Amino acid sequence: MTRRTATNVLLDTALKNFYGAAEEMELSENLIAVLGSSERRLEVSVPVEMDDGSIQVFKGYRVQHSTAIGPAKGGIRFHPDVDVDECEALAMLMTWKCSLAGIPYGGGKGGIACDPLTMSMKEKERMTRAFAARIAPIIGTWQDVPAPDVNTGGQEMVWLMDTVSKLRGHTEPGTFTGKPISYWGSKGRTAATGYGVATCGIELLKVLGREPKDAAVAVQGFGNVGSYTALTMAAAGAKVVAISDVTGTYCSPKGLDVQKAFDHITAHPKKLLEGFTCSGCEKQGLSDVLFVDCDLLFPCALEGAINEKTAGQVKAKNIVEGANGPVTPEGDAILDEKGVLVVPDFLANSGGVIGSYFEWAQNLSGYFWTEEEYNNRLIHIMKGNFKLVWDYAQSRKVKMRRAAFMAAIQRVADVERLRGVFL
Ligand code: NAD
């Protein structure tokens, strides 16, 4: 049977990864054809009255790759590069991420091709509300549940939810996640992704017969994901020997005071490590964090950080991917040759989407959990998912990234097989 290809690099890679794993799993050609296509690719026009009185028409998209397991789930991105193929690639990845996480969702993604950094708040609000009205027919608690992504956050979720609630004549909390705590959001969400990333690091040490207290750790990126990853590793007893952000690498072989670094960024107007110091701390260049000799390296900043140029210099014995796609396929091949073990992003950073599921579950029941309940449930799920992928990788003798793909595809394929192909 023919395979799809795409001119968009992200979509082409997503398809190739899927076909590669599906063939290794000996998935039937029928299932490969079904799961290699998206259920729905919606393009909408989004007319916005700008502050100068002119009308600008933006293009918006929402792609639902699969709703086999449950409602589509995935973010809404505001960025000039957004297009329908990029949304499809990211929607497909969401299908696998939600499946692997064991939560009752399929995969979706959407966005508007725009440059929000050049727009006023009022322009952004009008654009977000117009987009909400355009995609309203295909989103809903049991249809498709969007969330924040690049350049969108709690404020955009409030505009989206408020618009859909007004259109439908009732409060619609379960249609969006990533909302502020004061408006149907959930305690625990801010730390969830980093908490989950660190949990994977701790579980990895465990299966390798090590303990956090004997491990040296480096974290690239000290934003939302990186800071909570570093704090959680430090709380577990690990020695955090390097952290970094756009202002450089901060390291100490004796271990850094991570709480002090967190307090520093909290007080800094741009949330940066600029000016941070503590006992034994030395400042180094931007990329140096990647080359620190340590047991666990957590790349939690940008995609493509570990690539054909940088992978050869990595000294860490294990990598846990906190960011999305921090290791390129070329980087991955080099790390593999060096024997570096990589815990893949869509397992390691799934605490974010599991947190979204918790928010949705609370919204459905109208009952809010404590932060402690939230964290205990998150750790329980992350540990189980880590074990699932680790065992799968050991039994099939494949790398964790391939194992994660295979386990994720398997669950969706099983449900597709049970449901049949009517629609
Ligand atoms: P963020 O903007 O809060 O933090 C990014 C951090 O990376 C900042 O400290 C920034 O200074 C630093 N950084 C940027 N470029 C750098 C460079 N070249 N070298 C070193 N540091 C650099 O973003 P975030 O929410 O923490 O997201 C980080 C990554 O994790 C992204 O890939 C994102 O897609 C992914 N992710 C985030 C979540 C979430 O819940 N926030 C969930 C899943 C995946």
Q: What is the CATH number of the domain that holds 292?
A: 3.40.50.720
Residue with tokens 């439908």: 168
Among candidates 296, 328, 113, which has minimal Cα distance to 218?
A: 296
Could you identify the atom of ligand 1 that is nearest to the CA of residue 350?
43
Q: What are phi and psi of 237, to 5 degrees?
A: 105, -5
Domain boundary among 295, 316, 348: 348
Return the structure tokens found at 178. 């990533």
Q: Reduced to 3 states, what is the DSSP secondary structure of residue 197?
A: helix
Catalytic site includes residue 213: no
Measured CA distances, 399 to 102, 353, 368 (Å): 20, 23, 39
Looking at the structure, tell me whether residues 157 and 95 fall in a common domain. yes
Pick the residue whose CA is nearest to atom 34 on ligand 1: 324
Q: How far apart are CA 128 and CA 149, in angstroms?
A: 13
Among candidates 179, 215, 416, which has minimal Cα distance to 316?
A: 215
**348 C-alpha to ligand 1 centroid (Å):** 14
Could you identify the atom of ligand 1 that is nearest to the CA of residue 225?
26
Looking at the structure, tell me whether residues 229 and 343 fall in a common domain. yes
Looking at the structure, tell me whether residues 82 and 120 fall in a common domain. yes
- Give the predicted TM-score (pTM) of the model: 0.94
Could you identify the atom of ligand 1 that is nearest to the CA of residue 326?
32
Considering 109, 179, 187, 317, which one is annotated as catalytic? 109
**223 C-alpha to ligand 1 centroid (Å):** 6
- The number of folded domains in the chain is 2
Query: Do residues 31 and 63 make contact, with C-beta atoms less than 8 angstroms apart?
Result: no
**22 C-alpha to ligand 1 centroid (Å):** 31
Per-residue pLDDT of the chain (423 residues; tens, 9 = 90+): 689 999 988 899 899 989 999 999 999 999 999 999 999 999 999 999 999 999 999 999 999 999 999 999 999 999 999 999 999 999 999 999 999 999 999 999 999 999 999 999 999 999 999 999 999 999 999 999 999 998 999 999 999 999 999 999 999 999 999 999 999 999 999 999 999 999 999 999 999 999 999 999 999 999 999 999 999 999 999 999 999 999 999 999 999 999 999 999 999 999 999 999 999 999 999 999 999 999 999 999 988 999 999 999 999 999 999 998 899 989 999 999 999 999 999 999 999 999 999 999 999 999 999 999 999 999 999 999 999 999 999 999 999 999 999 999 999 999 999 999 766
Sign of CA dihedral 300, 325, 346, 146: positive
Enumerate helices (H) and strands (E) in the chain, giving the number of each.
13, 12
Pick the residue whose CA is nearest to atom 4 on ligand 1: 223
Q: What is the CATH number of the domain that holds 166?
A: 3.40.50.10860
Tell me if 400 is assigned to some domain.
no
Give me the domain span that covers residue 291: 192-348
Pick the residue whose CA is nearest to atom 15 on ligand 1: 246
How many CB atoms are located within 10 Å of the residue 136 CB?
A: 16
Looking at the structure, tell me whether residues 146 and 243 fall in a common domain. no
Instruction: Return the H-helix or E-strand segment holding 263.
Output: helix 258-267
